[in-house]
Amino acid sequence: MDDKRILGFDGVRALAVLLVFASHLWLGVPELMNYGWYKVFPRGGFLGVNVFFVLSGFLIA
């Protein structure tokens, strides 16, 4: 089977993984919400899951 991997998708998946990881980290360490820059990450988990969903649909089709 040929390896028809699109490397750009690996980068997008890596970013999605980081967003989901950061949102789960927020659940375990609520003190992080005191930092202004970290308030964005809890919502990023939803974005990361959506990116996985769309990317999987594209790759399956």
CB atoms within 10 A of CB 12: 14
Give mean pLDDT in consecutive 10-residue pieces for the chain, a chain of 61 residues. 76 86 75 67 77 85 74
Helix axes 7-28, 41-60, angle to 10 degrees: 150
Entry pTM: 0.68
The single residue listed with the structure tokens 């360490």 is: 29
Domain ranges of the chain: 20-60
pLDDT in the model for residue 40: 63
